[in-house]
Amino acid sequence: MPVYIALLRAINVGGTGKLPMTKLKAICEKLGFIDVKTYIQSGNVLFRTDANETDVARTLDDALGERLGKKPGVMVRSRKEMEAIVANAPFSDAKPSFLLVSFLPENAPKDALDRMVAPDGEEAVVDGREIYVHYPIGSGKSKLKLPALNAGTSRNINTVRKLAEMAAAMEDG
């Protein structure tokens, strides 16, 4: 049974989209997902299921919409996809916490970078359903404008690497 990683959009420790990871785990278990594990309080959950990726994303997004009053958006990736995302990461000299991967629900449009405004020297690379962004001064201080990121959710490369490792351990263990 394959392992999937679900990355939830707009899930935070406080404010709007607040969802304790214990509740997220319970929702996933109620949906029939097996071996559910969460990772940090930013909406990352790993589990096993025989359902396909599209059905998993839709089912989890619907269930979260019922709980939160609004669907947050759920991006789902397999272990192999997460490993490839880490392996293909550009900006190898970037500080890991300054390299974010934005996960999109579908392939980025061909013109995704055309309207990018990067006043602080930010760089971006599109690779299918992911956009890698290097923030030289950190994402919190950045004034980057990149509308293509709005549909997705971002994680720093350290988090992506850890999620890939956790998925590998689940599949291999």
Fold of 3-81: Alpha-Beta Plaits (3.30.70)
Asked whether 73 and 151 are in contact (CB, 8 A), the reply is yes
Pairing of strands 123-127, 130-134: antiparallel
* Calpha distance 18→99 (Å, rounded): 25
Q: Which of 34-43, 45-54, 74-83, 156-165 has the lowest mean pLDDT?
A: 34-43
Q: Indicate the SS3 state at residue 161.
A: helix
Q: What ranges do the domains of the chain cover?
A: 3-81, 84-161
41 pLDDT more than 90: no
pLDDT tens digits, one per residue of 69-101: 999 999 999 999 999 999 999 999 999 999 999
pLDDT digits (tens, 9 = 90+) for 18-39: 788 899 999 999 999 999 999 9
**3-state secondary structure at position 95:** coil
